[in-house]
Chain A
Amino acid sequence: MNRKAFLSTVVPLASMATAFTNDKNPEKKFASKKIPPYLKKGDLIGITCPSGHISAEETQSAINKMNEWGFKICTDDTVGAVDFTFAGTDDERADGLQKMLDDPEIKAIMLGRGGYGAIRIIDKIDFTKFIKRPKWIIGFSDATVFHCHINHNFGIATLHSKMCNSFPDDFSLAEQTQIDSIDSIRQCLVGEKMKYLTGLNECNRYGDAIGPLVGGNLSIIQMLDGSISDLHTEGKILFIEDVDEYPYKIDGMLWNLKRSKRLDRLKGLIIGEFRMKPDDPGEVFGLNLYEMVMEKVKEYQYPVCFDFPVGHVKENYALKCGMEHKLSVTAGGTALECIG
């Protein structure tokens, strides 16, 4: 596929969308998607690190950029904190996130980085106040834990996108796709209707689909199996991405998705970037990503698109998890539009 065929990134389509609607029928609260209020200039975004550690300097670029967007920024003690690989102990990280979730002044929370650690604290978090007063949770990779947990259990939308550590130190040296990816966070946060267009991949399966968008990092999705944060895919458009795994591991995780019946009733499937580890010498796996995916979904009819710009790469556009999307995979390329 021709990478450059990715068209002008995003097409903001009019109108600030309606803010979070009050829930008059608590019976249906999990069915009706709650959209956290979109941000206005002057709103406060909190930065916290529930997973791996990041230094204060490394968050500076994100802080500057978001200030430029007109938002105020606050950080907590987990930024710069180090407990081996983690940004502080489990209790410190849980406490950091909890305070930001509960603080009514903070309108959105951007995670410092991924890494590992969200699973260790998710069950310590009390979402009571967050459910009453949702706010955007922003991040990807290890943050898939929060996306899955929050989308499914509370029906609240979250933002799968780059985090502090993915903001370049010098925007003037950054590639346009990276700049666009970062700007898509702003566009999502202020409520612009997002539509992403990407080029044709010859392995795509054509079709149209409408459904809530769910997904994230494949390894994390598997890790949530059987737990309260488990990913539910029926009637949904699923997107997956992963990095630094052997092809055989990816294949095993795709079988896990299939065997746990999470590929059979999808509306559509979006395959993001998979920068896999090379096979060990003498252990060439023999199947590429397209083959691995298509052999598992060949009996279904829904659209499948490859090379969607989401993942551990520079082109990683912001996606609103839990919100209704329209996916259109045609000979002209792929379009993914948020219609929620």
Chain B
Amino acid sequence: MYWIIVELLNCFIKIYMIIIPPYLKPGDTIGLVCPSGYMPAEKYQTCIETLTEWGFKVVVGKTPGHQFHYFAGTDKERLNDLQHMMNNKKINTILCARGGYGMGRIIDKLDFSKFKHHPKWIIGFSDITVLHCHLFSNYNIASLHAPMAAAFNDGEFKNEYIQSLHEAMLGQKADYKTEGNILDQPGKAKGILVGGNLSLLVNVIGTPSDVKTKNKILFIEEVGEYIYAVDRMMYQLKRSGKLDNLKGLIIGRFSDMKDTSIPFGKTVEDAIKDLVKEYNYPVCFGFPVSHDKENYALKIGVKYKLIVDKGFVEVREV
């Protein structure tokens, strides 16, 4: 009888309980890793200085500054570095210094058996979307979609987006208010937030890292793609049912979009608008989540309230 109750309880926990890793206190240790692309050492110094100034200790893993062709080390080196940071109890949170490409190459080799019992915040975006999705869909563990090391450079370490990362680490509840966009679809929604980089969200469809979006608030952002390619990815989201039962949709920024020699004929925002106008849930455009400096920290797996009103958008952690 006892085991049935335990099983049921586990089942219940798996379905309903989101695991929120412990927030940071001054004196805690942040591990810096590069699980994807190579990052030269000079690019993450300001980040380390800023984190230290915030009162954290920083442990730099073996991959930042290390290079194997495009990557910050071989698959094995990147895997081991991230695995070590995940398992090491002295590391309280993990900041991925850079995205790029490479997480998908190692994700299935990561061992989450210790991490799921001692979860910690994993911070990053872009290619790190794969890990965010994987953690949430397999282990119900929340993670932090936020600026990475390069965003601290060029005097930007004081900006409100880096500030939002600091506040998120400390467990402060975010309340982001921004201007609306003419394309916005008004409404209010409450739901668990999921999302990230569009290319990677579609890349994990059908894989063990795929995220169910039903009853969620979804956010997407993208960089450096052709408009037609974004349109294609949006069609994929739609045709795979990912847009059907959302509570709300946050369209971030689509930076450095490219067009083909024969123009696509629409801006990327207009193309997305065409695909989402049939839905009744609130949709906002141009929210500051992006590969540009405008990139608020967002907790994946955590409940938010989205308010889209005339000329006004609010994303508030509940």
Contact = CB atoms under 8 A, between A and B. Distances in A.
Contacts of A222: 202-203
Nearest to A220: B232
Interface string B56-70: 000000000000111
B260 A226 contact: no
Interface residues on A, range: 20 to 34
B105 A123 contact: no
Contacts of B69: 284-287
A120 B204 CA distance: 21
A259 B202 contact: no
Given A252-B101, A256-B204, A256-B207, A223 B232 contact: yes
B172 interface: no
Given A225-B205, A260-B207, 15 more contacts: A83-B265, A85-B228, A85-B262, A85-B263, A85-B264, A116-B228, A223-B232, A226-B236, A227-B240, A252-B104, A253-B203, A255-B203, A256-B205, A259-B108, A259-B209
Interface string A179-217: 000000000000000000000000000000000000000
A15 B60 CA distance: 69
Given A252-B104, A283-B70, A226 B228 contact: no
Contacts of B70: 248, 279, 283-286
Contacts of A286: 68-71
A319 interface: no
Contacts of A285: 69-70
B257 interface: no
Interface of B: 37, 68-71, 101, 104-105, 107-108, 202-210, 228, 231-233, 235-236, 239-242, 260, 262-266
A225 B265 contact: no
A120 B230 CA distance: 13
Contacts of B205: 225-226, 256, 260
A112 to B, nearest CB: 14
Contacts of A84: 262-266
Contact of A256 (B108, B206, B262): B206
A169 interface: no
Top 8 nearest A-B pairs (CB, nearest first) are A286-B69, A226-B240, A84-B265, A260-B206, A259-B207, A227-B239, A226-B205, A225-B205
A230 interface: yes
Contacts of B235: 119-120, 223
24 contacts: A84-B262, A84-B264, A85-B260, A85-B265, A119-B232, A120-B235, A123-B239, A223-B232, A224-B239, A225-B205, A225-B240, A226-B205, A226-B239, A226-B241, A227-B236, A228-B239, A252-B101, A253-B203, A259-B104, A259-B209, A260-B206, A260-B207, A283-B37, A286-B70
A178 interface: no
Given A116-B228, A286-B68, A225 B262 contact: no
